[in-house]
Structure 1
Amino acid sequence: MLIDIIAGARPNFMKIAPIIRAIDARAAAGGRLRYRLVHTGQHYDASMSGAFFEQLGIPEPQVNLEVGSGTQAEQTGAIMIRYEQLLREAPSSLCLVVGDVTSTMACAIVAQKLHVPVAHVEAGIRSGDWTMPEEINRMVTDAITNWFFTTSETANANLRNAGVGQERIFFVGNTMIDTLLHHRPNFAKPDFFDALGLTRGAYFVATLHRPANVDGIEGLARLLDAIVKGARGLPVIFPVHPRTAKTLQTMGALPDAIRQVDPQPYLQFNYLVENALAVITDSGGITEECTVLGIPCLTLRDSTERPETVSTGTNELIGTDPAALAPALERLFAGEWKKGGIPEKWDGKTAQRIVDALEELIDMRAVAAH
């Protein structure tokens, strides 16, 4: 059985890496699953070239649709046209999509229209915020998915509430955590770490890329100022997202405590996180990594599609008002931040459970065909 594994943006590759390892291991033991890695080319980043794939142990994609940049509509249309052409020329038996980027939704739509069943890894998560493109991608993808691989009981409940039968939901855990735990022994100190005089537990990591936080000069300046004031003189390592960089180009000099660096490779970024006092972010995936690494996380959003990082983990929703940072950071410095725990099935074995389920589905389809 040939499975298309779809990836189009950096977080996707972190999510598929353990699935590829698990399929390869099962195939070596006589398993019947085979995969075709399809890179849509939705995002191109120099750090996503050979070194990134090498770090994560991902083979070069068998197919690159080379869609490139553009508006969401342009990217969606281009991905659909090129993936449809691929499936017509060389059909697969299943389309496996991960996460919530444009590629996830676009390839799911194409597959279903060509009668190729769809499995969605990280299905069922919801922020309730329709201003986020990712929320629309999640909802559309889950509306046409056959089999749902979920990260939490909250996601399971979201799907059941939408009318999905329990027999189509597989609570497997979180492949991002598989990747994190697999590579944790290999986290690597960034080149600038010693040059900036950084020491464990004596700096912050900040990542900002949500439009509401970074598209306006005044709003971004207020956020950065609040971060610096709350950090009490500790350095703030700021790997700058390309979207954020565009706004920074029109701003004046950043406060001295802000140490602007390029986006970091996976192993270097997580070294920074694991050794930080805390992380300040508007990302979703980083809140998961902080939870497992036991690092306090302050999320500059009003909602999250990963509530388990708040209810169980080390994350707190601070909101988008810069004034909310000061009292939260005061609690951190007072030693009053919650210790947190690790959500159920975030144990590094998610990909194995996914492959188990896929093999079971193959057997069920084979029986049904006869």
Structure 2
Amino acid sequence: MKKMMIAAAAAAVTAGSVQAGGFERSALPLGFMFEKGNYAELSFGSVSPKVSGVLAPMPSVTTGSVLKDYTTFGFAVKTDINEKLSLGLTVDPTFGADVFYPTGTGFPLAGSSAKLRGETIAAVARYKFNENFSVHGGLRSVGIGGDLFLPAAGNYRAKFGNDRDLGYLIGVAYEKPEIALRVALTYASETKHTLNTSIAGVPMTFDVPVKLPQSLTLDAQTGIAADTLLFGSIRWMDWSVTRLDGPLLPPSVNPLVSYDHDTITYNIGIGRKFSDAFSGAISIGYEKHHGGIVGNLGPTDGQKSIQIGGTYTHQNMKITAGVRYVDIGDAIALRGNSRFTGNKAVAVGMKVGFSF
């Protein structure tokens, strides 16, 4: 039962984090560390957000859709050293943003664009004290970098060079296999970066500091009836520490990225085994709408989502696929001069896992 129902739970999260707090695209996956025996997986996600706004004094002036479609790829592998110790490695597209304000709209930021990229490479170990208790932890190498173009600020163009910092994660888990119960708590540390930044037309570079947030994640699942699993998660991220400034930009433009609030994201779902080969799941997600002013490079505030997915298992291979619809929270940006409402995103994801 445990193996089958964990597969069902995975079906409800494979489409990834769509417009979760800040610019997180994927919570570092650790479920692979709880697979039986040696295991490897490849994951793919495609996200199509539709986020647009209007100029508050002139509702006929619209932004057009400002968030671009994107795809993500991930990889994880785990091996058992002995009955108690397992080692794993994962590559995850944790952070990202793709913003472009279409030209020809008359909106003050028309033509502006920004791109951020940040991936995590993590080496993880898990040690089982017995059938019920285990601890896990490891090191995370987190990278971040990007570029920015602001035509309304004198054709300001900046390139933020990629920088990596070493963080860590640590956690504990309790399991009761006979009822498919697993509760895991994982803490991931903050990372600090200094981005070597060049500005077009300026014969020098600048060191720009930025912090990426710490997080605390509680994952849980339990069997509630024959072949039926209840699962969920609560994830806190310390986004209020993250601020990114553009060198030589006036205070009226900076900060480029900042957040007034931390975020807590909730997910809950139910999974069901339909046959020896197929299981499915449905889940809902929620992130609080805080209100206040947000940055134009991330004009969203909170979310609600629903996702369905399924897992097909054949011999040593399992294929998991899911689709998520996200109602993205309304936001006020550009110091109150633009309002983003009626926004949404659709994400599809697939994961292929192999036991060997």
How would you bin the TM-score normalised by the shorter chain? under 0.3
Q: Taking structure 1 as the reference length, what is the TM-score of the superposition?
A: 0.25
Asked which structure has the greater RCO (Cα within 8 Å, sep 6+), the reply is 2
